[in-house]
Structure 1
Amino acid sequence: MHLCAIIFYMNRFVRTTLSALSLAAFVAPAALAQDLPPKLDPVEFNSCLNELRGTSAFKAITPATFTRFTDALAPDPSVLVLLNRQPEFTMPVWDYMAVLVDDERVAAGRAGFAKWNETLQQIEQQTGVAANVIVGVWGVESNFGQNLGGRPLVQSLATLSCFGRRQAYFRGEFAAALRILQEGHIVPEKLSGSWAGAFGQTQFMPSTFFRSAVDFDGDGRRDIVDSVPDALASTAKFLQNAGYRRGEPWGFEVRLPTGFDTSSAGRKNKQPISNWRAAGLTLADGSPLPNSVPSAGLLIPARGGPAFLVGRNFDALFSYNASENYGLAIAHLSDLVAKSGEGTDFVTPWPTDDPGLSRAQNRELQIQLLARGHDIGSADGMIGAKTREAIKAEQQRLGHKVDGRGGQKLLRVLEQGGERR
């Protein structure tokens, strides 16, 4: 999501694909008091649908298809709450990376890579997109198919086509969703996903489906929901269309020389590797910069933290979700999936004395909060409104900064008895 360097939880929507269901699965946006679903007039809704059926956006949709999927349709007011919600909680990059690239996801990614290796190698041969990068997208987008979203796309997109902001955009996606059903690529009961219309194992918007979806398993359908080969090949096709270059890495972590002027930093400000080498940059372990990318931009997500030289393939990852943090999560996960060993940290630590929590640690934090009587539901790792209110209560009791953020410091204190110190 991104708004470029800081991710807002579920509020990113009008983009090429709608991601971070894997993130939303454990970091839920706070429910605000004013976030009550509006009352939507069903008569107005039906009138809107009747008008849409005759517009040019729906010219490819037969009357029978339109009638079948809209006749008994009711609007879903809750999607307008999500459409209009303003993010009230921002996530530092070290929290974002800790929860999206943790030991659990790396292990699941390696298992998926091994299970689907033959398919992945075929896809890489055909598209040039590295197999581990495809797995990285799969892991970040839906936690390897585990978090697909459960909202019926037709209902969500029909509602957004008739009420709220950006109706023209959503009408195009609504028409594309109906076309997917009309052509039989996805069965109706499986066409569900995020509130704004992204679906499948790597979260395509319906219009993106028609640009990039691939029938890789040869059954005549482009099924990115139930067919892992179709989903992975479609992801590779998207990245190929975005300019992914065969044989090049996304980039690499680097070490900056002491006193280096970072005014030239920026993903778009690409320079030949020879220039960066002449400026004194090395790989993070001190070895010379390789010539594996012809040019790269200097990415510094947080001042004083890890720095990276990123090439054209990082830009392709960025185009998937218009977020540098998102691209870095995929890049880092893909590297770890392709390697052996433990640990998920970069060589240079993040500039914080209170690192973020993994999903397992989020669950442990919730267990500690439940043990202290906080009514937060179950310890499911979803850091939503109730969990953040409980965190604030404990922070206030302990004399910590009251911001609702659960980090390593708070978890350690609670595990050690939770006494003020």
Structure 2
Amino acid sequence: MRKDLIAACIATITLAMPAFALPPLQSQRPELRPTAGLTVVTASSQGTPLAVSRSLRPMLRIAPGTAVPEPQAVVFQADFTAWRAAFRNRALAQGIRPETFDRAFAGVVVNPRVINRDSNQAEFSRTLWEYLDGAVSDVRVSNGRAAMARHADTLARIERRYGVEAEVVLAVWGLESAYGAMRGNSDIITAMATLAHEGRRRDFFEAELIAAMRILQAGDVAPRQMTGSWAGAMGHTQFMPTSYLAHAVDFNGDGRRDIWSDDPTDALASTANYLRHHGWTTGQPWGVEVVLPQGFDYGLTGEGTKRGAGFWRRQGVRLADGGQVPDHGQASILLPAGHRGVALMIFDNFHVIERYNPADAYVIGIGHLADRIAGAGPFRGAWPRDERGLSRAEREELQRRLVARGLHSGAVDGIIGPQTADSVRRFQASVGMVPDGFASLRLLERLR
């Protein structure tokens, strides 16, 4: 299951970014978002346009101008029919009623476009700052504040019930579906059946299909109204079926856990419930921007080093505005773009957001968008905009060269997670570079 989740999540990460990749804890929701460049208009409660926005969860997108192969003219439905018959037996053995299965699969055939979208994902090298330029754009912040005003009473009740701040729930909504404007219109049963039949992640998608049919069996939604992304994520905040079963709630009391309708109440409450379940601490920031003093020991950076506020204060770490770093328990110093970029002190709530999507960029996007919706300004620090992201081939080369030097014992998979970052620090220290763990082109050239 963990390997299936990793494979699925890798497909969702637009960031082939230098220092961002999947940490050990994996997302349960491996969907992709609509094609890049698709814009939508978020309307006010009076029906007037507020602003143009688009979904910017850090997923893989098809770049403008990229040729997308046409679906195959002939799809061998006989194979699908045989798989469906065998899967029906497996589903019934797990408690799905025959009538539920037959209603769910009525008219369902292989969708070649789903296979093409899953198989023809281009490789992009997108930096964190490029991602944040869109994820936390002025438009998205403005739309978030407008949504806060429209749903103030509902969000206040959700916050009281689950202890998750309204702006955090709004930020998830904003990145997942542009505040409900881009929920996806793919038939979930068709999409996941296609991917299960295709076979590369059969176990994963069959498990999600079973969960989807449990949802149908409970009467929360009709089969053809169960819509979402082409890879199975549903509703305003894009729950996979298994996550829905575990965390979705009927907050408006209408007898259904409805995350699909225009009313976002159940979806927002379900998101808060999800975060609470995974350990959200009320009042604790996800992270704060800090400034590191001259002579700081960069070997202390990274998620593997957690210390209390007193320790960091003694090291000379200050808030970006000059104040003392807050005491919210154990914290780490994260340098998402190396020592030339923004420095963050991250707390346990950072890792709770990782449960929604494990890409560091997504977590920072959620956290920073939430802060901006609540009234904070942009990051004060600069980004090294002269850097470019590494391609997958370059990231794999970097890992191979670290392995060859005896500095890395992890996988050569192009995923720059905490283990690779630690290996990078060891190499940087050994050659007199600042050991910030940043897997940059300059570092790769030095390794070469």
With structure 2 as the length reference, what TM-score do the two structures score?
0.72
| Secondary structure at 2:331 match in 1 | strand
User: Is residue 346 of structure 2 the alignment partner of residue 310 of structure 1?
Assistant: yes
How far apart are 1:300 and its partner, in Å? 1.1
Paired residue type of 2:28: T
Does 169-178 or 85-94 show the bigger shift? 85-94
* Residues 270 and 173 of structure 1: CA distance in aligned 2, closer, same or farther (over 3 Å): same
| Residues 253 and 309 in structure 1, CA contact (< 8 A), matched pair in contact too | yes
How far apart are 1:308 and its partner, in Å? 0.5
| Secondary structure at 1:90 match in 2 | coil
Paired residue type of 2:157: Q
State the match for 1:147 in structure 2.
Answer: 182
d(CA) in 1 for partners of 2:280 and 2:153? 21
* Residues 22 and 68 of structure 1: CA distance in aligned 2, closer, same or farther (over 3 Å): closer
User: Is residue 64 of structure 2 the alignment partner of residue 52 of structure 1?
Assistant: no
How far apart are 1:324 and its partner, in Å? 0.7
State the match for 2:384 in structure 1.
Answer: 351
Describe how 1:207-356 pairs up with structure 2 within 5 A. 207-226=242-261, 227-291=263-327, 293-303=328-338, 304-339=340-375, 345-352=378-385
d(CA) in 1 for partners of 2:249 and 2:113? 32
Which residue, 184, 197, 206 being the options, matches 2:241? 206
How far apart are 1:82 and its partner, in Å? 2.6
d(CA) in 2 for partners of 1:190 and 1:260? 55
Deviation track 1:189-209 (CA, whole Å, cap 9, x = no partner) reads 331111110011000001100
| Secondary structure at 2:78 match in 1 | helix
Paired residue type of 1:312: D
d(CA) in 1 for partners of 2:299 and 2:358? 22
State the match for 1:380 in structure 2.
Answer: none
| Secondary structure at 2:307 match in 1 | strand
| Secondary structure at 2:303 match in 1 | strand
Amino-acid identity (%): 37
d(CA) in 2 for partners of 1:220 and 1:58? 28
How far apart are 1:32 and its partner, in Å? 6.0
Which residue, 155, 158, 167 being the options, matches 1:120? 155
Deviation track 1:285-306 (CA, whole Å, cap 9, x = no partner) reads 1111122x11111111101111
How far apart are 1:248 and its partner, in Å? 1.2
User: Is residue 39 of structure 2 the alignment partner of residue 29 of structure 1?
Assistant: no
Paired residue type of 1:94: W
d(CA) in 2 for partners of 1:5 and 1:65? 34
Deviation track 1:40-78 (CA, whole Å, cap 9, x = no partner) reads 311110111111111157623211111122242110122
How far apart are 1:89 and its partner, in Å? 1.4
Does 246-255 or 328-337 show the bigger shift? 246-255
| Residues 32 and 229 in structure 2, CA contact (< 8 A), matched pair in contact too | no
Paired residue type of 2:384: P
d(CA) in 1 for partners of 2:29 and 2:211? 14
| Residues 34 and 229 in structure 2, CA contact (< 8 A), matched pair in contact too | no
Describe how 1:60-209 pairs up with structure 2 within 5 A. 60-209=95-244
Paired residue type of 2:81: N
The total of aligned residue pairs comes to 350
d(CA) in 1 for partners of 2:276 and 2:293? 35
User: Is residue 19 of structure 2 the alignment partner of residue 7 of structure 1?
Assistant: no
| Residues 58 and 175 in structure 1, CA contact (< 8 A), matched pair in contact too | no
d(CA) in 1 for partners of 2:351 and 2:331? 10
Paired residue type of 1:135: L
| Residues 4 and 324 in structure 1, CA contact (< 8 A), matched pair in contact too | no
Paired residue type of 1:160: L
d(CA) in 1 for partners of 2:310 and 2:34? 38
Does 69-78 or 192-201 show the bigger shift? 69-78
State the match for 1:371 in structure 2.
Answer: none
| Residues 22 and 141 in structure 1, CA contact (< 8 A), matched pair in contact too | no
